[in-house]
Homo-oligomer: A and B are copies of this chain.
Amino acid sequence: MPKRVDHAERRTAIAEALVRVAGRRGLHAVGMRDVAAEAGVSLRLVQYYFETKEKLLLFGLEHLAQRFGQRFAARAGAAGDDPGPRATAEALLMAALPTDEESRTFHHLYTSYAVLAVHDRALAAQPFIKNPDAAEDILTGLIREAQEADQAPPGVDARLEAVGLLAMSAGLGTSVLVGQRSPESAGAVLTHQLDRIFRGRH
């Protein structure tokens, strides 16, 4: 039985177990034993592949951010071979909305990590800056692209609108998460803003 094992693969499997159980019961309620049970391994093995809980959480966050990127790419690709800037922007913003179970978990855990990051400098150094900044750049570029193609009025400040849209998407996501708003109504609010920013004929 005991042979050579791919550590990266094992760590990913355990991180996914962490994400599953955290999505089910909340990140604050997750212990090493829960992760071990969910992954179908012994507590010792979780210790073995991640020496400490903090490192497990860190890796879990990275894994989550990576999966989120994949989700966005899938959404963007599903919009056609060469989706226009508007369709790509819509995919980016809608991907962040908690519509199905997977995106609910995304948003929930990302927010949990953000709350922890307020007082944990190890977490604060992680992708809370890098990742959203990248999204901001992409969205800004999409708006500028639309402006050059006469699909958006030149008067709008691309960066300011991009930042606003991303913040709006995040805020709407939270209100959907806590049950204050339906995913459909949140989507309608975003669509309304996109209609305003992306409109042709000037």
Contacts and interface: CB of A to CB of B under 8 A. Distances in A.
A164 interface: yes
A185 B162 CA distance: 13
Contacts of A175: 132, 167, 170
Interface residues of A, number: 44
Given A108-B118, A114-B111, A168-B168, A160 B189 contact: yes
Interface stretch (A11-19, A31-39, A71-79, A176-184): A176-184
Nearest to A108: B118
A103 to B, nearest CB: 13
Report copies per complex: 2
A118 B177 contact: yes
A100 to B, nearest CB: 15
Q: Which secondary structure dominates where chain A touches chain B?
A: helix
Nearest to A165: B168
A119 B28 CA distance: 10
A25 B119 contact: yes
Contacts of A177: 114, 118
Interface string A113-134: 0111111100010001100110
A163 to B, nearest CB: 5
A26 B120 CA distance: 9
B178 A163 contact: no
Contact of A179 (B26, B115, B129, B167): B129
Nearest to A177: B118
A120 to B, nearest CB: 8
A29 B170 contact: no
A202 interface: no
A89 interface: no
| Residue in A116, A166, A174, A185 with the greatest tally of chain B CB atoms within 10 Å | A174
